[in-house]
Chain A
Amino acid sequence: MDSRRHSTLTIRTPEGVAFAVPLAGLVTRMLAYCIDLACISVVTGMAGHLLSGMAGLSVDAVRALTVLTYLLISIGYAIALEWFWRGQTLGKRALRIRVMDRDALRLRPSQVILRNLIRAVDMLPVLYAVGGVACLLTRHAQRLGDLAANTVVVRAATLQIPDLSQIHASRFNSLREHAHLAARLRRRVTPELAAVGLEAILRRDSLEPADRLKLFEDLARAMKSLVEFPAESTETLADEHYVRNVLEIVFTR
């Protein structure tokens, strides 16, 4: 396996800003493909039904059209949707992933066509084995079609502004009474520690009680080591409450 395999694709713009796009995992892509297969089956079934019900067509013509419709839908489904929806099929849309140019440029029709045609080889010998192995071996999780078309499949992020209201457990923050210490705390808390603290608050309800206690104990200890507040301001505070108060100082002014 390629040891330089990445979970993100990093692009550096000419303006000097680097951004990383998370790559879609193999399982997500497989699930999206299963949804697409189901969609293709439904659409071809409906098309076959419609064709068989058409008056004035001979049995031979109906069968011929059914065969051609299946070919057209099976090849054209992903090509058409990925082009019109900028890299997404129904399955990809449902699982919030999309096809993207490897250099983050606009996806071209020729890229969409090529990656979908080479799917025929990626599916060999059974169950997408060639494509799956290629995804696991390549640095940016590309199947053969992606390699040939210079594309990657990425996760599409949606805006989720952190709910800072959860930090404010109570209106009174005893640490704020010591303005100079609060200012020192704001300077000393590292972004990483603040981020871990914020995540801990946002996810507290999904943690086991014992784990939660241990996590907030560790966080409080780390934060207390940065600035020492007078005992009367901290002695009645539980570890979680202490962390909330620190984060409230750090993230809001």
Chain B
Amino acid sequence: MILDLDRFTAAEKPYWDELDRRLQKMEQDPGYDMSLEEATRFHYLYQRCAASLARTSQIAGEAQLKAFLEALLARAYAEIHEARGSRKRWSPLRWLFGEFPATFRAHIGAFALSLALTIAGTTFGAAALLLDPAAKSALMPFQALNESPAERVAREQKGESSKLEGHKGEFSAQLMTHNTQVAIFTLGLGATFGVGSVAVLFYNGVMLGAVAADYVKAGFAPFLAGWLLPHGSIEIPAILIAGQAAFVLAGALIGDGRRRNRRERLRAVTRPLVTLIGGAGVMLIWAGIIEAFFSQYHEPVIPYAVKIGFGVVELIALTVFLSRAGRTWTADDTPL
């Protein structure tokens, strides 16, 4: 069939333009709600556009017009057939205190895997350093940790490491940036079916184990705990949660044995992934502040007991928060 294109476009273009205007209105305001009358008109325009496309498709050659109608119909289709979630405004507080802990618990198996890999890496790192002290330079995450723990502790306790004075804010910001990038990277590696995330979590554990073994072996366990616990009790769980998100993603890519295709599985985990990584991000902001403004002070400025106590309280509070908060939260509460 060949259309009288002039007449066809002249007759239909006003409807296409009206549909385009309505779509633009919706696109400019994600929270826009149509009245019943508007929805009815919108549906009519959508069907009319679909009919135009069907007619244009029969003439096969009108490529430009067909491409335009397809693009217009694709936009309208998204509005007509979208049925996921509500259009409620997103609430940061409900998300942080409701959705985040609830999502964490819903995927606790992935967290356990993340934790197990880190513990395995820690054990390996500690064992490697104790059995082969010469490997210290290869195991330490950065050059400064290659000095002996005794020298470092003596220097810190004399207050000689005042190099951060006047730079604590910048240092804190750099820590937040670096840790956030590590968390995002760990999550992203979930897209490698989890292989990359396994490597990152295990390697993090190796570095942590090597540092811990070095200080404990030298008899500076209180210094180590006072140095790491205040920020580490939040920072390390945050990285573990990023690893948890990575394994949730990897699980969706690999499959869980149920009769759902990969697209459906991925669609189901998109929101939990963003919630987990967002929660980890919030935790890392807190950890960055504590590391720059609190962890870097040692005895005699702040007694180790106070620092260790602070870290333990944080860890208990985090555990209670993740295990108890958000029990009344349901998946329909937010439109994320």
Chain A residues within CB distance 8 Å of chain B? 11, 13-15, 17-22, 58-61, 63-65, 67-68, 70-71, 75, 83-86, 100-111, 113-114, 117-122, 144-145, 147-150, 154, 156-162, 164, 186, 189, 191-192, 194-196, 198-199, 250-253
Contacts and interface: CB of A to CB of B under 8 A. Distances in A.
A150 B71 contact: no
Nearest to A118: B188
B188 A144 contact: yes
A148 B73 contact: no
Contacts of B335: 109
A86 B27 contact: yes
20 contacts: A21-B70, A70-B177, A103-B263, A105-B81, A110-B270, A117-B274, A118-B187, A122-B188, A147-B191, A148-B273, A157-B68, A160-B68, A161-B9, A162-B64, A191-B1, A194-B59, A251-B6, A252-B4, A253-B4, A253-B7
Contacts of A251: 2-6
Contact of B170 (A67, A84, A118): A67
A157 B169 contact: no
B152 interface: no
A189 to B, nearest CB: 7
B68 to A, nearest CB: 4
Nearest to B81: A105
A77 to B, nearest CB: 15
B64 A160 contact: yes
B189 A106 contact: no
Given A147-B191, A149-B270, A59 B166 contact: yes
A142 B59 CA distance: 31
A250 B2 contact: yes
Given A104-B78, A105-B81, A121-B196, A157 B71 contact: yes
B191 A121 contact: yes
A191 B196 CA distance: 52
Contacts of A109: 90, 274, 335-336
B228 interface: no
Given A111-B270, A192-B60, A196-B61, A144 B191 contact: yes
Given A86-B27, A158-B68, A191-B2, A108 B84 contact: yes
A133 B60 CA distance: 33
A159 B271 CA distance: 35
Contact of B173 (A64, A101, A102): A64
A226 B103 CA distance: 68
Interface string B189-200: 111100010000
Contact of B185 (A86, A111, A120, A250): A120
Nearest to B75: A86
B177 A15 contact: no
A106 B79 contact: yes
B266 A147 contact: yes
A71 B67 contact: no
A68 B263 contact: no
B73 A19 contact: yes
Contacts of A118: 187-188, 191
B30 interface: yes
A21 B191 contact: no
Interface in B245-283: 249, 253, 263, 266-267, 270-271, 273-274, 277-278
Contacts of A157: 64, 67-68, 70-71
A60 B188 contact: no
A252 B197 CA distance: 63
Contacts of A250: 2
Nearest to B59: A191
Contacts of A20: 70
Contacts of A145: 188, 191
Contacts of A161: 9, 13, 64-65
Interface string B178-189: 001100110111
Given A114-B273, A117-B187, A195-B63, 15 more contacts: A13-B77, A21-B74, A104-B77, A106-B84, A110-B336, A144-B191, A148-B253, A156-B71, A159-B16, A162-B5, A164-B5, A191-B2, A192-B61, A194-B2, A250-B2
Interface in B274-296: 274, 277-278
A150 B74 contact: no
A221 B181 CA distance: 65
Given A17-B53, A106-B82, A118-B188, A64 B4 contact: no
B291 to A, nearest CB: 13
Nearest to B61: A195
Instruction: Name, among A21, A114, A122, A196, the residue most crowded by chain B CB atoms within 10 Å (CB to CB).
Output: A114
B168 interface: yes
Contacts of A61: 169
B218 interface: no
B63 A121 contact: no
A19 B71 CA distance: 8
The 8 A-B residue pairs whose C-beta atoms are closest, nearest first, are: A195-B61, A64-B169, A121-B188, A67-B173, A191-B60, A157-B71, A63-B170, A144-B191
A59 to B, nearest CB: 7
B330 interface: no
